[in-house]
Amino acid sequence: MTAITGVGAYAPRFRITSEAFEEAWGQFQAAGVSEKAVPAADEDALTMGYEAATKALEAADVDPAAVDWLGFASSTPPEAEADLTARLGAMLALDETATRQLFSGSTRAGTRAIWASADALESSATTALVVAADAPKGDPDDGVDHAAGAGAAAFVVERDGPAEVVDRAEYAVPYPGTRFRNAGEAETQGLGVTQYDRAAFTETIGGAVDGLEADLEPEAAAIQAPDGKLPYRAAGAAGVGTDEIQAAATVHDLGDLGAASVPVSLASALADGYESILAVSHGGGAGADALAIEADGEVPAETALEGDDPLSYAEYLRQRGVVTTGPPSGGGAYVSVPSWRRSIPQRYNLEAGRCPECGALEFPPAGACSSCGALEEYESVRLSGEGEIEAVTTISQGGAPPEFAEQQSRAGDYAAAIVALEDDAGDTASIAAMGTDADPDDFAVGDRIETTIRRIYTQEGVTRYGFKVRPAA
């Protein structure tokens, strides 16, 4: 048996409304979408996946070291060729021997990952973590971009638990040109032939649902949502009503979430307490997966899908990097990739050291103790990711180091702070950190903060990720 035992979901805080697009283009081409989530300049599918995964693990009360299977799904991974599960696993402090699989190339990727986790649990795995995150893009004047949102969902999956996956089926038939992204391109596109797209959508969804053998009467239906109308047009093919689709729908407020569309809707339905859920994904090409989930009791869930920072269309283009230049040439602090890799335990997992002579915490744990001067091997200590601001300033245009100039150009002013992070014993280590997820004015000396992982900067084509701080929830 396969069951979901913990749920996490995340969406960026930025939002842009349909009215903002209408003012810019004279029309809005994403029917049924009132606003959508927009990733910040330091966010991508990997960082959003981390946010959702930490919430799922916390909700399920599962030690990351117990996870022996990890699946990461995205149709817009930040790197076209790289095993991103290695980075994600390190960010989450998973065991290095855990089995890892990457799913991409289609908006079905999220449900393919859930499917693969079920296969793994039927074999040798005991605790799986499925993470789906996406932030599709299209040409600025295209309906794909008007609908394109951002978000992530994660599920802890075990052999027994409150939400059982009771049945699954898939269906595929060739419909070339419905939705695709060619090699070397960042924008998703389609032929835009309405009847053709609708036929591919309804046939594959209907075929997958028809393949289910479970006698399911869903209270909620998480259907792939390229816009806010197409899922409802597939209601008949899926054998559900519009009320059931509405119960799980997130597209109206978050936009098209690509490979995370169905996972985020499923996470939302489970968090809302629905006991019988149909989840059906669709990927251009075209194919579909159908999953039948029955919950017996409350499923632990932690979600953060609300947005509180509206953008104008110009600000939207700026966050995406469409109207900003790249980093300036020269002058930056060069850090080689091997040197950066050696600091990953600190940047991902906040690994500090305790001096064996005086007990002071040192971050990073290298060199002589700054408190007593002892040159002894430090005891490894992991900081909690919570603390207090000791000093703070604002970095504005022209003030950012060259390696951070591109992010400053896209995101605007940001906070730089000295923060005292705590360990489990209540001792603290003072650390320099960049702020994120808030206006610089929202950071003040004495305020409580928490850490998260975001993009830092890119050199030699390699993006560096590491911790940043934000106001504590």
397 in a domain, yes or no? yes
pLDDT value for 205: 98
pLDDT in tens, 322-372: 877 666 655 567 888 999 999 999 999 999 999 999 999 999 999 999 999
Domain residue limits at 411: 337-471
332 in a domain, yes or no? no
**pTM of the predicted protein model:** 0.95
- Scored b (16 or more CB within 10 A) or e, 337-360 reads eeebeeebbbbbbbbbbbbeeeeb
One domain for residues 296 and 424: no
pLDDT value for 332: 65
One domain for residues 260 and 149: yes
pLDDT value for 168: 97
One domain for residues 380 and 408: yes
pLDDT in tens, 12-70: 999 999 999 999 999 999 999 999 999 999 999 999 999 999 999 999 999 999 999 99
pLDDT value for 325: 64
173 in a domain, yes or no? yes
pLDDT value for 326: 62
One domain for residues 70 and 138: yes
- Please give the tally of structural domains in the chain: 2
One domain for residues 149 and 257: yes
399 in a domain, yes or no? yes
One domain for residues 291 and 199: yes
Out of 320, 352, 374, pick the residue that ends a domain: 320
62 in a domain, yes or no? yes
One domain for residues 74 and 16: yes
One domain for residues 61 and 173: yes
One domain for residues 164 and 25: yes
pLDDT digit string (tens) for the chain, length 473 residues: 799 999 999 999 999 999 999 999 999 999 999 999 999 999 999 999 999 999 999 999 999 999 999 999 999 999 999 999 999 999 999 999 999 999 999 999 999 999 999 999 999 999 999 999 999 999 988 889 999 999 999 999 999 999 999 999 999 999 999 998 998 888 888 888 899 999 999 999 999 999 999 888 999 999 999 999 999 999 999 999 999 999 999 999 999 999 999 999 999 999 999 999 999 999 999 999 999 999 998 999 999 999 989 999 999 999 888 877 666 655 567 888 999 999 999 999 999 999 999 999 999 999 999 999 999 999 999 999 999 999 999 998 877 788 888 888 888 899 999 999 999 888 999 999 999 999 999 999 999 999 999 999 988 889 999 999 999 98
103 in a domain, yes or no? yes
303 in a domain, yes or no? yes
One domain for residues 262 and 376: no
250 in a domain, yes or no? yes
One domain for residues 283 and 383: no
One domain for residues 151 and 239: yes
pLDDT value for 327: 62
Out of 320, 350, 368, pick the residue that ends a domain: 320
